[in-house]
Amino acid sequence: MLFSAAFIPITLSVLGAVASPLQATKKSGISAALFNDLVWYFQYASSAYSASCPHPNGNTLIEEFTDSTTYTQGFIARDDTRKEIIVSLRGTSSLGDFITDAELLLENYSSPGVTPPSGVSAHSGFLNAWNSVAVGVISTVKAQVAAHPSYAIVTSGHSLGGALSSLAAVSMKYNFPKNAVRMYTYGQPRTGNDAYAYWINDQFGNQAFRSTHTNDGVPTIIPTWVGYRHHGIAIPCMQKAIIFSLNFSGTEYWQNPDPASAANTVECAADGEDPDCSASNFSLGIDLAHTVVCLEQTLRAKIMLILISQVLQYFCDHAFLQRLDPVTWILI
């Protein structure tokens, strides 16, 4: 999630290097069980970046999906041990995704099978991206629910995928009212207005988990003063060197400082915007906290290579190469 591809090398090499985790006041940590749970669902979010993942988290891959217009991608998996159907959505890894990220005007919420309360608005790019795959995803999940009616439905995603996971969870909740639905988001940018945030809290309670790394700039890159608000309560998760703060409906838990552990994950104020937790971070966009900590080294390299190739291909396809000046090339 970021507004300009040209900003990537700057944030990764300069801004990310100078950023340091902010210190939170002393608060209580979370349980090891919850911490491990967050790690488990992060693995689905990270798997969405892979070109192919035949067995996500060692489980059954039902379907991979993509939309050629919005570049929205993800997969649906089934865990017969935990009795869950998982919808995982990919984060920003193409030029099309950056265009989606940049469409930040709020628009009235509308999605197949969902009737929102009055006044609910969402990020237009995120909403359009989810709606481009919503009908197909709902259809596939419907077939799985028919075969496994007692299974819970879980959505997961990192970065842009986190915002889409939030929107997907709402769709699952309304289209499958008899099934338990949970969402896990990692490095999620603000996705909607106050009414959207309160709606999520009301619908999901403590089943909405919003996780952010200590000084990750993406969760705060869209400021509250343009009408956005984070939903939920927060709680942290970790995958090796991964440090997150996650949001529950009403209570935030922030991982700070390193190393990541349940003991170092603290409980914050319950409104999702605690000024002493992740909301205290000045956004640097996609910095090292968003990529280095969240993803394995090989996965980061793959994402950057894919992104670079996508950008160059876009310029070639649109005959932009001959019009780029030297400064533009340096930024890219």
**Residue from 168, 155, 160 nearest 188 by CA:** 160
Residue 309 a catalytic site member: no
**Residue from 6, 186, 11 nearest 102 by CA:** 6
What's the whole-number mean pLDDT along residues 220-226?
Answer: 89
CA distance 303 to 8: 12
- The residues, ordered by sequence, that sit 6+ positions from 41 with a Cβ below 8 Å of its Cβ are 154, 156, 184, 209, 237
What's the whole-number mean pLDDT along residues 135-148?
Answer: 99
CA distance 218 to 2: 7
Lowest mean per-residue pLDDT among 67-76, 84-93, 191-200, 253-262: 253-262
Residue 67 a catalytic site member: no
Please give the mean pLDDT across all residues of the chain.
74
Q: What pTM, to 2 d.p., does this model score? A: 0.73
Residue 216 a catalytic site member: yes
What is the CATH classification number for the domain harbouring 240? Answer: 3.40.50.1820
Domain of 136? 5-331
More confident residue, 230 or 321: 230
**Out of 216, 271, 274, 287, which one is annotated catalytic?**
216
CA 12 to mean position of chain CA atoms = 19
Residue 123, pLDDT score: 96
Assigned token pair, 201:
């809290």
Of the pLDDT bands very low, low, confident and very high (cuts 50, 70, 90), residue 272 is low
**Out of 123, 158, 231, 290, which one is annotated catalytic?**
290
pLDDT digits (tens, 9 = 90+) for 108-137: 999 999 999 999 999 999 999 999 999 999
Residue 315, pLDDT score: 41
Q: How many structural domains comprise the chain?
A: 1
Assigned token pair, 331:
């930024």
Lowest mean per-residue pLDDT among 73-82, 288-297, 301-310: 288-297
Residue 237, pLDDT score: 39
**Out of 46, 121, 159, 283, which one is annotated catalytic?**
159
Query: Phi first, then psi: what are they for 97, rounded to 5°?
Result: -65, -40
DSSP at 190? P
Residue 274 has pLDDT above 60, yes or no: yes
Residue 16 has pLDDT above 50, yes or no: no
3-state secondary structure of 156: strand
Residue 3, pLDDT score: 36
- The residues, ordered by sequence, that sit 6+ positions from 175 with a Cβ below 8 Å of its Cβ are 112, 113, 114, 138, 141, 142
